[in-house]
Amino acid sequence: MTSPEPSKRSSRLLIIDDDPLIRLLACERLGIDGFEVFEADGGIAGIAAFSEVQPDLVLLDVEMPGMNGFEVCQAIRATPSGSHVPILILTGRDDVPSIERAYGTGATDFVAKPLNWLILAHRIRYMLRASESFIEVRSQQVRLDDVQQHARLGSWEIDLRTGLLKPSIAFRSLFGLGGEDDLLFVEKVLDLVHPEDRAALESAGFQALSNRDGFSLEHRIVGRDGSVRIVHSQARVRTGNEDEVLALEGFTQDITDRRRTEEEIRFLAFSDSLTGLANRVAFKLHLESAVQRSARMRGILAVLFLDVDQFKRVNDTFGHTAGDRLLRMVSEKLSRIIHECSTVPRSSNGEPDALIARLGGDEFTILLERLTHPSDAGVIAERVIEALACPAWIEGHEVRITASIGIAVWPHDGADAETLLRNADSAMYHAKELGRANFQYYRRELNSHALERLELEANLSRAIQEDCLEVHFQPKLEIATGKIAGCEALVRWQDSRRGSVAPSTFVPLAEASGLILGLGESVLRNACLGARTWQRNGHADFRLAVNLSPAQIKDDRLIDTIDEVLRETEFDPSLIEFEITESALIQDEDRTLAALHKLRERGCRISLDDFGTGYSSLSNLKRFPVDTLKIDRSFVSGIGVCPADEAITAAILAMAQNLGVRVVAEGIETDKQFQFLADRKCDEVQGFLISRPLDVTTFGIFLDEHNR
């Protein structure tokens, strides 16, 4: 037995045959061809020799006494090393049933006796080469699976003709799929994609198919245990010879850990390690994009630059640890104030639209976006100063912290982040010069506006506390009967210094500062008391309308307060109507809807105020329990002047009548307007034409005269 390639082990053949001549010839002839040949004279000996020799190929006779070739083949296949070894069955010529049976028991191929040794040697070499390739492919597959598992990267292929997905082992484990099926329905895999990401993934897939390219997408998957992981899927379309689309194939990799690490790095790079607030870098980046946003949306943006007064003294007296604690305390207080202050605009999820940062040392900044007026920034600065001024305990000592704040407002005080920050800083120095514990605008003239507003707010607060607000009543005329069917209560305030202040000035101020809750309660009580007297004086079913502001609707105590006032004043809830603007409806829909239903349960009515100026969505009328709709004055005033306003008014009336909602037109001042509305079956009108808002006594007289 010689070997043509000394470096390579010669291939081992095992011949199992009871015919000694065949065995002899095999050893002789195949030995010459460079094979190392082992022999066994029967089935049992053959199986033993197989496990001892571990041959590369087996030549197996079918007809043998005792165990026949099929049984031997089966037995070899059942051993771990025998599952893939090539087995060549030696059969009689044309023995078709044997050939079929041989394949059935796991044989690789067959040759018919008598054997042509020359051809057989070639055949064996070919089978060995095929087997080697097979082993190589298999080991590569195992290696690939290992690598995929390690990289948490699974490959997959969707056969578009069957719609079935063929996953790799790593893909299965990534998606937490058992090894039960080789092929899966695509739906089954899509079910594991996060519900919010599924549509995007499906559409990326469809687009890739229609464009015959691929996609690359980050999305989430939800494990069977509910755990969420972030993955990156990449795919391409495979086409056939005729350019027909055959399959979509790709990879999906788990990148959760990478994303988490990135987030941690970002957090470390962009946050202040002492307080956890944003740091200087983060603040500047935010400010830059906020400036761009404000430029697009024409909003007001302000930067508050805060410096803790005499921080150095705390640091020097009590040491750095105490200083650090103080800074952390300031940061917590700032976060709380910004969260609680109703002047700070909110984003759609109700969170404050503000960013607080520590620039370093005792310097903090606050970025405020979408302010309604520059003076809002002053109100917020004032709240911050007030809240910080409460005494704090450091190392057993009472410390009074104060802060100086500088304010820069975009766009007047700087068109870019850099300038705004610098000017806010310089305004802060001005505040320090003025004796600390105050705020200053970069533009001096804004200071007086802000102070004025703060003074007005303080006076209003006092007026509410001392019950100095008055309520006036404006009648509503029912067109069909010509009677005054009800009235709207409107708040009035006489400030000691300024005289009469318009509700359009102080109601928004009360809303921003939280004073509206006290104001609203006072108006409701006084209005009920007034209307109650007229009801007792012969106008039994006279109705009262009271305005509710968005802040009141959001207040958890609203219903309790209303119940209490109605009980106290013995007012019949079915004779009261609450006027709500559309914008209030949609601010916190669930809560608003719950509040409105509770009011309805008590028999109160709901009226949609200023209709046409807000979102004016018909769906609001269907979704929310609305009894009445008030057409805004701006449309009514266009009647007889502006055809568009007339058309809108007519359309609102027609639509409301279809929906069975009553309509009140507000602000009617002329007979022409009255006639137009009467012709179109408007239910009620309110406006100077009927009467201006009147104080309680005058209204009583008006009512007696009119409804006599």
- For residue 504, the partner it binds in Mg ion, ligand C2E, none, with Cβ less than 5 to 8 A by kind, is ligand C2E
With respect to Mg ion, which residue has the nearer C-beta, 411 or 503? 503
Query: Applying CB under 6 A, which of residues 39, 307, 362, 579 lies at the interface with ligand C2E?
Result: 579
Nearest to 668 by CA among 644, 649, 651, 655: 649
688 lines the binding site for ligand C2E (CB under 6 A):
yes
Distance (Å, whole) CA 65 – CA 71: 12
Segment interacting with Mg ion, rule: CB under 5 A, options 32-40, 425-433, 542-550, 669-677: 542-550
With respect to Mg ion, which residue has the nearer C-beta, 354 or 523? 523
Size of the chain, expressed as the number of residues it contains = 708
- For residue 549, the partner it binds in ligand C2E, Mg ion, none, with Cβ less than 5 to 8 A by kind, is ligand C2E
Query: Applying CB under 6 A, which of residues 165, 326, 523, 664 lies at the interface with ligand C2E?
Result: 523
Distance (Å, whole) CA 482 – CA 706: 9
Distance (Å, whole) CA 56 – CA 111: 17
- For residue 490, the partner it binds in Mg ion, ligand C2E, none, with Cβ less than 5 to 8 A by kind, is ligand C2E
Q: Which two tokens stand for residue 550?
A: 């968005």
Query: Applying CB under 5 A, which of residues 17, 39, 309, 609 lies at the interface with Mg ion?
Result: 609
Find the helix or strand (DSSP H, E) in which 472 lies. strand 470-478
579 lines the binding site for Mg ion (CB under 5 A):
yes
How are the residues of the chain apportioned to helix, strand and coil, as percentages rounded to the nearest 5? Answer: 50, 25, 30
CA 55 to chain centroid: 63
Q: Which two tokens stand for residue 93?
A: 């010529």
- For the bound state, the minimum distance from the C-beta of residue 633 to Mg ion, rounded and expressed in Å, comes to 7
Q: CB neighbours of 290 closer than 8 A, spacing ≥ 6?
A: 301, 367, 369
> For residue 188, what are the CA distances in angstroms to 171, 194, 680?
13, 13, 59
Cβ neighbourhood burial of 228 (10 Å; 0-12, 13-18, 19+): exposed
- For residue 688, the partner it binds in ligand C2E, Mg ion, none, with Cβ less than 5 to 8 A by kind, is ligand C2E
Segment interacting with ligand C2E, rule: CB under 6 A, options 99-107, 160-168, 638-646, 664-672: 664-672
610 lines the binding site for ligand C2E (CB under 6 A):
yes
Distance (Å, whole) CA 55 – CA 131: 12
Q: 155 with 174: CB under 8 angstroms?
A: no
- For the bound state, the minimum distance from the C-beta of residue 569 to ligand C2E, rounded and expressed in Å, comes to 16
- For the bound state, the minimum distance from the C-beta of residue 337 to Mg ion, rounded and expressed in Å, comes to 32
Q: Which two tokens stand for residue 401?
A: 């912290």
Query: Applying CB under 6 A, which of residues 184, 388, 491, 565 lies at the interface with ligand C2E?
Result: 491
> Would you give the binding string for ligand C2E spanning residues 530-569, x where CB under 6 A is met?
-----------------x-x--------------------
SS3 231: strand
667 lines the binding site for ligand C2E (CB under 6 A):
yes
582 lines the binding site for Mg ion (CB under 5 A):
no
Subset of 236-265 contacting ligand C2E (CB under 6 A):
none
- For the bound state, the minimum distance from the C-beta of residue 669 to ligand C2E, rounded and expressed in Å, comes to 5
With CB atoms as reference, the residue minimizing the distance to Mg ion is 579
Query: Applying CB under 6 A, which of residues 87, 124, 379, 490 lies at the interface with ligand C2E?
Result: 490
Q: 365 with 359: CB under 8 angstroms?
A: yes
With respect to Mg ion, which residue has the nearer C-beta, 17 or 488? 488
Provide the terminal-to-terminal Cα distance of the chain, rounded to the nearest Å.
Answer: 134
- For the bound state, the minimum distance from the C-beta of residue 693 to ligand C2E, rounded and expressed in Å, comes to 5
Q: Which two tokens stand for residue 697?
A: 């006594």
- For the bound state, the minimum distance from the C-beta of residue 498 to ligand C2E, rounded and expressed in Å, comes to 15
User: Which long-range contacts link 349-358 to residues 24+ away (Cβ below 8 Å)?
Assistant: 350/588, 355/278, 355/283, 355/286, 356/277, 356/278, 356/331, 357/272, 357/277, 357/278, 357/279, 357/280, 357/282, 357/283, 357/286, 358/272, 358/274, 358/275, 358/277, 358/278, 358/279, 358/327, 358/331
- For residue 17, the partner it binds in ligand C2E, Mg ion, none, with Cβ less than 5 to 8 A by kind, is none
Q: What is the DSSP string of 367-400?
A: EEEEESSHHHHHHHHHHHHHHHTS-EEETTEEE-
549 lines the binding site for Mg ion (CB under 5 A):
no
Edge-to-edge order in the sheet of strand 109-112: 36-40, 12-16, 57-61, 87-91, 109-112
Distance (Å, whole) CA 703 – CA 533: 12
- For the bound state, the minimum distance from the C-beta of residue 501 to ligand C2E, rounded and expressed in Å, comes to 10
Find the helix or strand (DSSP H, E) in which 565 lies. helix 558-568
Q: Which two tokens stand for residue 707?
A: 């409804």
Distance (Å, whole) CA 369 – CA 386: 22
Query: Applying CB under 6 A, which of residues 502, 590, 705, 708 lies at the interface with ligand C2E?
Result: 502
- For the bound state, the minimum distance from the C-beta of residue 666 to Mg ion, rounded and expressed in Å, comes to 5
665 lines the binding site for ligand C2E (CB under 6 A):
no
Q: Residues touching ligand C2E: how many (CB under 6 A)?
A: 21
Query: Applying CB under 6 A, which of residues 307, 309, 609, 684 lies at the interface with ligand C2E?
Result: 609
687 lines the binding site for ligand C2E (CB under 6 A):
yes
Q: CB neighbours of 122 closer than 8 A, spacing ≥ 6?
A: none
Q: 610 with 632: CB under 8 angstroms?
A: yes
Query: Applying CB under 5 A, which of residues 168, 331, 547, 628 lies at the interface with Mg ion?
Result: 547
507 lines the binding site for ligand C2E (CB under 6 A):
yes
- For the bound state, the minimum distance from the C-beta of residue 549 to ligand C2E, rounded and expressed in Å, comes to 4
Query: Applying CB under 5 A, which of residues 555, 610, 645, 646 lies at the interface with Mg ion?
Result: 610
Segment interacting with ligand C2E, rule: CB under 6 A, options 219-227, 500-508, 530-538, 584-592: 500-508
With respect to ligand C2E, which residue has the nearer C-beta, 375 or 474? 474
With respect to Mg ion, which residue has the nearer C-beta, 366 or 562? 562
693 lines the binding site for ligand C2E (CB under 6 A):
yes
With respect to ligand C2E, which residue has the nearer C-beta, 406 or 693? 693
With respect to Mg ion, which residue has the nearer C-beta, 91 or 474? 474
Subset of 622-651 contacting ligand C2E (CB under 6 A):
633
Q: 110 with 90: CB under 8 angstroms?
A: yes
Segment interacting with ligand C2E, rule: CB under 6 A, options 35-43, 95-103, 334-342, 665-673: 665-673
- For residue 43, the partner it binds in ligand C2E, Mg ion, none, with Cβ less than 5 to 8 A by kind, is none
**Residues in contact with ligand C2E by the rule CB under 6 A:** 474, 490-491, 502-504, 507, 520, 523, 547, 549, 579, 609-610, 633, 666-667, 669, 687-688, 693
**Residues in contact with Mg ion by the rule CB under 5 A:** 547, 579, 609-610
